[in-house]
Amino acid sequence: MYKLFFRLVFRRMDPERAHHAAFRWIRLAARVPVLRTLAAAALAPRHKELRTEALGLRMHGPFGLAAGFDKNAVAIDGMAMLGFDHVEIGTVTGEPQPGNPKRRLFRLVADRALINRMGFNNEGSAAVAARLAARRPVFRTTVGVNIGKTKAVPEAEAVADYVKSTERLAAHADYLVVNVSSPNTPGLRDLQATESLRPLLTAVREAADRTVTVRRVPLLVKIAPDLADEDVDAVADLAVELGLDGVIATNTTIAREGLGLRSAPGLVAETGGLSGAPLKERSLEVLSRLYARVGDRITLVGVGGVENAEDAWQRILAGATLVQGYSAFVYEGPFYARAVHRGLAARLAASPYATLAEAVGAETRKKADR
């Protein structure tokens, strides 16, 4: 039904306009007690065997919504109602900003992909912090907060900008993510170099500890799939050295060649980050490489091209304790999370592993032993 609706309605709409329309419907449904209860019963059935512990947190399962969908923390309950086990809001910047000029979001339907150059459009960390502080949860879910650099802030002042957001948001985050990997903020990816990343992550960790003294807020970094393998290794080593809690692999890619894209050349040529199915192989490679380097010392989150339960299962076998989706949600609709959960439960039952935790990294370890 959704796929027919997508073809007849959403596909004809501007992608950003369609996103906002769907977003309004989700938020509205989550405000109506009877409707949200019925929707959650249908879309978010719980599978006890998928219960997950990660980052010191207990979750209903391993599958969450990646950052970028709910930039301003306005639909956390709505996304939990749809079955996502954790919701990562943002990216949030120190100051509010409108993002890049429209059009800035493009569907590559033939490739089941998206290109975006949104540019961190959001209301800013002060407004988002106030909204999170006032929130009264309807559904229990884990809330991650993804922070990035304000575009107008020069690279030399980036650390202070991230610290500002940390001080405002850390108290409201179940975990915090430093985003240095979006291709749509000039100079941002330069911060992935370890000589820049080390002082940034150190300052954010100190700010989080200074701001929140009653608990330790887990801190992760999100990296790009376009890093060279040696740079992936360097980030992995730095994460362990600094006692980081996790790494999210991966953000969108600026690559176009070698991905077998079938969409019209003019559409493929749009600038911005490519997400969805074409990112699947490289994202999995980066994840496997990270796990081979860090093992179980930190938590890995797999994202990028996760279309179905098989993709999620492959991420877990490669080393991901948590898995996230976003672009496939556009194409699969409200039953996306339910299908992933059901498929994961079936794969776990058919596997030699008693729990998901046992399955994490199993294939990567096997390859290392060969």
Residues belonging to the active site = 182
C-alpha span between 357 and 267 (Å, rounded):
41
- Could you give the CA distance from residue 163 to residue 200 in angstroms, rounded to a whole number? 9
Contacts of 250 (CB under 8 A, 6+ apart): 181, 222, 223, 224, 225, 279, 282, 283, 286, 287, 303, 304
Structural Rg of the chain based on CA atoms:
19
- Which of 295, 296, 318 lies closest to 305 in space, CA to CA? 318
Question: Which tokens go with 307?
Answer: 């279309």
Question: Facing residues of 262 across strands?
Answer: none
56 is written with which tokens?
């010191």
Phi-psi region at 279: left, alpha or beta (left = phi > 0; alpha = psi -120 to 50): alpha
Residue 214: count other Cβ atoms within 10 Å of its Cβ: 5
Q: What is the C-alpha to C-alpha distance for residues 254 and 266, in angstroms, rounded to an integer?
A: 15
Query: What are the residues facing 253 on neighbouring strands?
Result: 274
Which helix (H) or strand (E) segment holds residue 142: the answer is strand 142-148
Q: Note whether 198 and 240 are within 8 A (CB).
A: no
Tokens encoding 243: 């006692």
Scanning the chain, the segments in alpha helix (DSSP H) are: 2-8, 15-31, 33-43, 76-81, 125-134, 158-169, 194-211, 229-241, 265-268, 280-294, 309-318, 327-332, 336-350, 356-359, 362-369
3-class secondary structure, 352: coil
d(CA 226, CA 230): 11
The Cα-based distances of 332 to 21, 52, 109 in angstroms read: 16, 24, 12
